Amino acid sequence: MTTLVEARRLVGLPDDESGAGWIEVDGDRISDAGRGAPMRTPDVVLDEGILAPGLIDAQINGAFSVDFADADTDEVRGVAERMLSTGVTAMVPTFITATVEHFVEQVSRYDSARRASNASGSATRLLPAHVEGPFLSPRRRGAHREALLVDPTPERVAPLLALADAISYVTLAPEREGALRAIADLVAAGIRVAVGHSDATDDQVRAAADAGATLVTHLYNAQSPFHHRAPGVVGAALTDPRLTVGVIVDGHHVEPAAVRLAFAAAAGRVMLVTDAVAALGMPPGVYELGGDQLEVIAGSPPLRADGTIAGADEPLDANVGHAVDFGIDLVDAIRAATRTPADALGLADLGRIESGARADLVLLGDDLRARTTWLGGTKVWSADGTMQAPGATVASGRF
């Protein structure tokens, strides 16, 4: 049995438009979708808000007082459940610089928790991890511990290769000794590579892309800036069509003009990420990131004791809203939090509204904050408190 849903505003179809549309859901998949009015009387009409694919956060360190670096199975599951309230239906937990041995321990523990949580089908989908370090530049280390930064020798990369099924991507600085070989080895194992926390020249970034790198971690932050005679990481990121660039649009990390520049220069390649820490969804206070304490003061991003910005505390739906406030087209902003990260991570059935895609959806209010979230056609969170029982489908009439 299928369910036909009509929406006053629908974003996420291949036409990259915003307007009236419809979705037909069969089980946990979209069986058909289109623009305009459906051919038959719909089962459900959404006459308010914007229906879009579920949001995908490709870089998140923690949330709701939990740091993924030391989270147990219950804590990981708890974050995955609560992230539904932000419209995020899939996410990539991030683990910042540690020793390689510690990374193996952290990622292995997380992967067990990930598989257990995903088996339930009623929490945000947990994707394989993002390993951010330890192969970073000390000149652009940001909140990462300098004493732990090392070159990506084959011996240090090998344990990560052994965890290929548990790792989505690794962020490294391509100017470090052995980086190009490491990139090639990681990509050959099925692990994507991002350029980040790097003081590289634009030529070094392009060499990294030649070796297989396809991502840039938090554009503008912790990387060599653009100069007209030394384009750096930023220049390469904005002009190399092989690179998808993550951008934190929380109102603190990147100024509005720089956000507009990124969307204009790298059209279709911008991926909104939160880089959120344990402070997301929590009041001002003291939280942890990779074992270091951070202080959050109302109106400011999380800060280390030395004043360095360390991640963020804004959810992804808020980042979409900021992007639109900064002058980014609504469809482009939503695509940057849905289809673009899905494509960058090789998730062909997420982040889009088309036949065969998973029916992971979010209804955004006019303020672009999440109002209702569905996973595989099941309503799993609603701002008004109405939810389906676990395992119920849209065919039950409660979409």
> Which residues are annotated as catalytic?
275
| Length of the chain measured in residues | 399
Q: How many other CB atoms are found less than 10 A from the CB of residue 298?
A: 6
Enumerate residues 6+ apart whose C-beta is below 8 A from 119.
none
Longest dimension (CA), the chain: 64
Q: Crossing angle, helix 202-211 and helix 179-188, to 10 degrees?
A: 30
Enumerate residues 6+ apart whose C-beta is below 8 A from 261.
238
DSSP 83: G
Q: Which long-range contacts (CB under 8 A, 24 or more apart) does 321-324 make?
A: 321/367, 321/368, 321/369, 322/249, 322/250, 322/251, 323/249, 323/259, 323/263, 323/272, 324/368
- In angstroms, the CA 272 to CA 238 distance is 15
DSSP 325: H
Alpha helices in the chain (DSSP H): 73-82, 100-118, 154-161, 179-188, 202-211, 232-239, 256-265, 316-325, 330-335, 339-344
SS3 186: helix
Q: How many other CB atoms are found less than 10 A from the CB of residue 41?
A: 8
Q: What is the Cα 339 distance to its own chain's centre?
A: 11
Find residue 223's DSSP bridge partners. 198
CB 10 within 8 A of CB 18: yes
- In angstroms, the CA 301 to CA 196 distance is 20
Q: How many other CB atoms are found less than 10 A from the CB of residue 178?
A: 17
- In angstroms, the CA 230 to CA 80 distance is 42
Q: Is 169 exposed, middle or buried (0-12, 13-18, 19+ CB in 10 A)?
A: buried
